[in-house]
Amino acid sequence: MKPKIAIIMGSKSDWPTMQEAAEILDRLQVAYHVEVVSAHRTPDKLMSFAETAADNGFEVIVAGAGGAAHLPGMAAAKTRLPVLGVPVQSKALNGQDSLLSIVQMPRGVAVGTLAIGGAGAFNAGLMAAQILSLQDAELAGRIEAFRTEQSQSVLENPDPRA
| Domain edges within the chain | 5-156
Residue 2 has a pLDDT of 92
Confidence (pLDDT) at 91: 86
CATH topology of domain 5-156: Rossmann fold (3.40.50)
- Crossing angle between the packed helical segments 118-133 and 15-27, to the nearest 10 degrees: 40
Name residues whose C-beta falls within 8 Å of residue 36's C-beta, 6 or more positions apart in sequence: 8, 9, 10, 11, 12, 14
Whole-angstrom Cα distance, residue 91 to residue 112?
23
pLDDT at 16: 98
Tens place of pLDDT for every residue, the chain, 162 residues? Answer: 799 999 999 999 999 999 999 999 999 999 999 999 999 999 999 999 999 999 999 999 999 999 999 999 999 999 999 999 999 998 889 999 999 999 999 999 999 999 999 999 999 999 999 999 999 999 999 999 999 999 999 999 989 898
H or E segment to which residue 70 belongs = none
Residues 88 and 14 sit within 8 Å (Cβ to Cβ): yes
d(CA 27, CA 161): 27
The reported pLDDT for the residue numbered 1 is 76
Closest by Cα among 103, 128, 126 to 113: 103
